[in-house]
Amino acid sequence: MNLLKSLCLASGISGFEDEVAKLIKSSLQKSCKEVRVDALGNVIGIKGKGKKKIMLAAHMDEIGLMVKHIDDNGFISFVKIGGIDDRTLLNQRVIIKTKKGDVRGVIGAKPPHLQKEEERNKVIKHNELFIDIGAKNKKDAEKKVSVGDPIIFEPNFGKLSNNVFYGKAIDNRLGCYIMLEVMNRLPADIGLKIYAVATSQEEIGLKGARVSAFGIDPDYAFVIDTTISGDTPHIKPQESSLRIGKGPAITITEASGRGVVTHPKLRELLIRVAKKNRIPYQIDVLEGGMTDAAIIYITKSGIPSAVISVACRYIHSATGVFDMRDVNYAIKLLTKTILELEQMES
């Protein structure tokens, strides 16, 4: 649990993953024979000695913001990095990660008391918002921050009930944690060559997965990510039937087929292993949204790929909610599946 908390609290918007990458690298060095970082910042841990190569991928980047402009009064305009609903931004506390250190701020807007009626009836777009860092003026603000500085939501992590937790960047620090725990549990002499890849820049185009899959050229790939839970008000069952606490989700297809279409061999293997070991699971058919698997499975001559996800509430916002039982079941399912695959390929 301490590792998961540290992962969620760490900084790492797309393209600026150094802090979380350092944490993941340190963890992989405890379980892997070799750990390296490639040209795009992907952290890759390797263990095992078989001929068949298995790639595990979990993206380590998070959504966030970036400083675009500082006005004469010291207020900061920003752009979004990754998919963020503008409705979630107002009044959020943020941290600007500067070369000199962290600078705290609050996202503000024109007060509702001063808005005209037509203004109150519309969503405030991110380009109408600003960040207040308490600066006196532009000169004062520029002593602290610079254009191009990355911005994260204020880190948070905690428990809501016995099994239900909340945290920043659970998309996809949950996947990273699951991958790290699987690598800890797999035997050092496993008869497969396992590549654990913490991918970079997933939220802005699956970029890290593209280059790492090309370089590794695995025989099979398993992507670990999060997905949308449908157990909150105003979501219809036909929109999402997934529930937190009901086990990890096995993806059939993403983005109505525009993303990955899970390879039948791996899909059937995951379901068979889940049933054999009495691991609860759910089936995920995504109408929108993609994971790293969408690019991995069409790399080079094609790589059979599958996705295991943890259903979460409020992903792509400052704080998400998840059930720790789903995380633990995902660890067990992926570990057992790899060991089963070892027997099949030996």
Q: Please determine, for residue 111, whether its predicted confidence score (pLDDT) is greater than 90.
A: no
The answer to the question of residue 12 being in a domain is yes
The answer to the question of residue 100 being in a domain is yes
| Average pLDDT, integer, range 94-109 | 96
The closest of 169, 125, 216, 230 to 19, measured between CA atoms, is 169
Residues 174 and 284 in one domain: yes
Does residue 19 carry a catalytic annotation? no
Helix (H) or strand (E) holding 159, with range, is: strand 157-159
Residues 143 and 43 in one domain: no
Query: Which pLDDT tens digit goes with each residue over 58-68?
Result: 999 999 999 99
| E strand segments, 203-302 | 220-228, 249-253, 282-285
Residues 105 and 217 in one domain: no
Q: Please determine, for residue 112, whether its predicted confidence score (pLDDT) is greater than 80.
A: no
* CB contact set of 157 (below 8 Å; sequence gap of 6+): 4, 5, 8, 9, 165, 166, 167, 168
The answer to the question of residue 162 being in a domain is no
Q: Please determine, for residue 146, whether its predicted confidence score (pLDDT) is greater than 70.
A: yes
Q: pLDDT tier at 113 (50, 70, 90 boundaries)?
A: low
Q: Give the mean pLDDT of the chain.
A: 95
Looking at residue 286, its pLDDT comes to 87
Q: What are phi and psi of 239, to 5 degrees?
A: -85, -40
Q: Which domain range does residue 327 map to?
A: 2-62+168-345
Q: Which two tokens stand for residue 322?
A: 């998840």
Q: Please determine, for residue 45, whether its predicted confidence score (pLDDT) is greater than 80.
A: yes
Q: Please determine, for residue 230, whether its predicted confidence score (pLDDT) is greater than 70.
A: yes
Query: Which pLDDT tens digit goes with each residue over 152-179?
Result: 999 999 999 999 999 999 999 999 999 9
DSSP one-letter string for 63-120: -EEEEEEE-TTS-EEEEEES---GGGTTT-EEEEEETTEEEEEEEE---GGG--HHHH
Residues 127 and 213 in one domain: no
The answer to the question of residue 161 being in a domain is no
Task: Please give the Cα distance from 208 to 293 (Å, whole number).
Answer: 11
Each residue of 70-84: b (16+ CB within 10 Å) or e?
A: beeebbbbbebbbeb
Residues 195 and 339 in one domain: yes
Q: Please determine, for residue 118, whether its predicted confidence score (pLDDT) is greater than 80.
A: no
Alpha-carbon distances, residue 288 vs 64, 127, 177, 285 (angstroms): 20, 25, 25, 9
Residues 295 and 217 in one domain: yes
Task: Please give the Cα distance from 338 to 194 (Å, whole number).
Answer: 9
Q: Which two tokens stand for residue 171?
A: 């998309």
CATH number, domain with residue 31: 3.40.630.10
Domain boundary among 99, 126, 153: 153
The answer to the question of residue 159 being in a domain is no
Residues 190 and 248 in one domain: yes
Residues 219 and 332 in one domain: yes
Q: pLDDT tier at 238 (50, 70, 90 boundaries)?
A: confident
Looking at residue 120, its pLDDT comes to 66
Residues 338 and 222 in one domain: yes
The answer to the question of residue 176 being in a domain is yes
The answer to the question of residue 80 being in a domain is yes
Of 17, 202, 203, 254, the catalytic one is 202
Q: Please determine, for residue 302, whether its predicted confidence score (pLDDT) is greater than 70.
A: yes
Looking at residue 345, its pLDDT comes to 85
The answer to the question of residue 123 being in a domain is yes
Residues 251 and 288 in one domain: yes
Domain boundary among 104, 123, 153: 153
Q: Please determine, for residue 114, whether its predicted confidence score (pLDDT) is greater than 80.
A: no
Domain boundary among 153, 188, 223: 153
Q: Please determine, for residue 40, whether its predicted confidence score (pLDDT) is greater than 80.
A: yes
The tally of domains found in the chain comes to: 2
Looking at 3-12, 121-130, 140-149, 318-327, which range is the least confident one?
121-130
The closest of 134, 147, 13 to 80, measured between CA atoms, is 13
* Residues 174 and 312: beta-carbon distance below 8 Å: yes
CATH number, domain with residue 90: 2.40.30.40
Query: Which pLDDT tens digit goes with each residue over 46-98?
Result: 999 989 999 999 999 999 999 999 999 999 999 999 999 999 999 999 999 99
| Average pLDDT, integer, range 119-124 | 74
User: Percent of the chain at pLDDT above 70?
Assistant: 97
Task: Please give the Cα distance from 311 to 168 (Å, whole number).
Answer: 15
Residues 121 and 132 in one domain: yes
Residues 114 and 97 in one domain: yes
Q: What are phi and psi of 150, to 5 degrees?
A: -75, 150
